[in-house]
């Protein structure tokens, strides 16, 4: 009963009868997107003069074949009904969807010997929307809107340091994931910190660099690091950091795809006061005179 209903739907959309086929040669098609193996893609082409859209078979500009399609599970080959191995596919990407099987044969004067090249392929009365392409066109904008948390910034020493000495800076950024719905599809976004741009507040910029820095053990504070900086003047400074995130996305659990561009996320400024050190020499021995100057 279900197979009979599918055949009747095809009559409504395409004016075909169950088991009927449409035959055309390569010259009938305005575009190709199948290879010699007969494997189709979801690039929608129009069958010239027939107002139908689907992945149309083609083997190249000098295609020696002609092709035909028939309703899935209803075709006969050499007057023998073939077994329905795959079954009719549900074709809901656009109006007038129908599952068909594609066959090919060498062109005349060769005898017609039809062999299957693809089963359960969808064709439509109107061109389906390319949802993946539409999502790809919007995903960079959606990535910029994602609530990516900025990196936290720290310094050693801090919040005070000394003029003329190394001050170590470091950032802590994490991989973050988000789920959104775009054009009715489930989209999963992953944001990964990639590079950093440091602004030390005294006119010195460094980056983008892959160096996020790291805290030092207490006994090593004052050593030079990849992200450390020496201030030459006292004062109060605001250290600004921008973390550049790379993004990937999946649609409905599909493969990971790269998001064009980057998400540039600024951290809250880190305040730092730079002091100067003053050295005095004293003659008193504090062991002998604990009340001496400087003791």
The DSSP annotation for 197-219 comes to EEE-SSS-EEEEES----PPPGG
Q: What is the mean pLDDT of the chain?
A: 79
- Tokens 């802590």, located at residue: 172
Distance CA 124, CA 98 (A): 6
Domain count, the chain: 2
Residue 285 lies in a domain: no
Quick one: average pLDDT of 75-84? 46
Residue 170 sits in the same domain as residue 268: yes
CATH code of residue 260? 2.60.40.10
Reply yes or no: is the peptide bond before residue 157 cis, omega within 30 of 0. yes
pLDDT digits (tens, 9 = 90+) for 246-266: 999 999 999 999 999 999 999
Q: Which residues pair with 186 in a beta bridge?
A: 181
Integer-rounded Cα Rg, in Å, for the chain is 35
Distance CA 72, CA 9 (A): 13
Residue 182 lies in a domain: yes
More confident residue, 109 or 86: 109
Supply 264's token pair.
């540039």
Distance CA 57, CA 66 (A): 9
pLDDT at residue 51 greater than cutoff 90: no
Domain that holds residue 136: 131-275
Residue 83 sits in the same domain as residue 151: no
Supply 277's token pair.
């050190």
Quick one: average pLDDT of 190-200? 98
Of the candidates 61, 78, 74, the one whose C-alpha atom is nearest the C-alpha of residue 17 is 74
Range scoring the smallest mean pLDDT among 81-85, 144-148, 245-249: 81-85
Q: Answer with the one of 57, 91, 123 that is the final residue of a domain.
A: 123
pLDDT at residue 110 greater than cutoff 50: yes
Q: Is 10 helix (H, G, I), strand (E, B) or coil?
A: helix
Residue 194 lies in a domain: yes
Quick one: average pLDDT of 89-96? 78
- Tokens 């805290």, located at residue: 215
Residue 153 sits in the same domain as residue 245: yes
pLDDT at residue 135 greater than cutoff 90: yes
Residue 137 sits in the same domain as residue 261: yes
DSSP state of 27: G
More confident residue, 113 or 19: 113
Question: Beta-carbon neighbour count of residue 22 at 10 Å?
Answer: 16
More confident residue, 162 or 70: 162
pLDDT digits (tens, 9 = 90+) for 14-37: 334 344 445 544 433 333 344 444
Residue 72 sits in the same domain as residue 177: no
Q: Is 101 helix (H, G, I), strand (E, B) or coil?
A: strand
Residue 119 sits in the same domain as residue 135: no
Residue 58 sits in the same domain as residue 114: yes
Residue 73 sits in the same domain as residue 165: no
User: Who contacts 223 (Cβ-Cβ below 8 Å, separation ≥6)?
Assistant: 166, 168, 216
pLDDT at residue 161 greater than cutoff 50: yes
Q: What global pTM score does this model have?
A: 0.60
Q: Answer with the one of 83, 105, 123 that is the final residue of a domain.
A: 123
Range scoring the smallest mean pLDDT among 52-61, 147-156, 276-285: 52-61
Distance CA 35, CA 33 (A): 7
**Strand 160-162 to 270-275 pairing:** parallel
More confident residue, 24 or 67: 67
Distance CA 39, CA 56 (A): 10
Distance CA 27, CA 66 (A): 9
For residue 196, give Cα distances in angstroms to 153, 200, 259.
Answer: 11, 13, 18
Distance CA 75, CA 68 (A): 11
Quick one: average pLDDT of 270-286? 81
Range scoring the smallest mean pLDDT among 27-31, 145-149, 224-228: 27-31
CA angle, residues 214, 215, 219, in degrees to nearest 5: 135
């Amino acid at each position: 009963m279900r197979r009979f209903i599918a055949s009747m739907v095809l009559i409504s959309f395409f004016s075909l009868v169950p088991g009927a086929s449409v035959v055309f040669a390569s010259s009938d098609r305005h575009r190709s997107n199948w290879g010699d193996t007969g494997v189709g893609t979801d690039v929608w082409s129009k069958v010239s003069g027939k107002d139908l859209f689907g992945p149309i078979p083609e083997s190249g500009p000098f295609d020696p074949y002609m092709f035909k399609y028939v309703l899935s599970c209803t075709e006969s080959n050499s007057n023998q009904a073939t077994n329905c191995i795959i079954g009719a596919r549900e074709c809901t990407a656009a109006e007038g969807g129908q599952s068909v099987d594609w066959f090919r044969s060498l062109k005349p004067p060769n005898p017609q010997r039809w062999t299957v090249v693809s089963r359960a392929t969808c064709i439509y009365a109107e061109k389906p929307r390319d949802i993946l392409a539409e999502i790809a066109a919007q995903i960079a904008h959606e990535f910029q809107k994602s609530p990516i948390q900025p990196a936290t910034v720290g310094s050693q020493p801090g919040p005070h340091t000394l003029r003329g000495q190394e001050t170590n800076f470091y950032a802590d950024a994490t991989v973050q994931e988000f789920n959104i719905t775009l054009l009715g599809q489930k989209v999963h976004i992953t944001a990964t910190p990639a590079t950093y741009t440091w602004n030390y507040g005294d006119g010195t910029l460094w980056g983008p660099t892959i160096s996020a820095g790291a805290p030092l053990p207490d006994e090593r504070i004052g050593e030079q690091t990849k992200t450390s900086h020496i201030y030459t003047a006292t004062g109060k400074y605001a250290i600004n950091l921008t973390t550049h995130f790379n993004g990937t996305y999946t649609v409905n659990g599909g493969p990971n795809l790269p998001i064009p561009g980057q998400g540039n996320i600024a951290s809250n400024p880190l305040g730092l006061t730079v002091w100067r050190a003053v050295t005095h020499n004293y003659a008193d021995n504090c062991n002998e005179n604990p009340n001496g100057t400087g003791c």
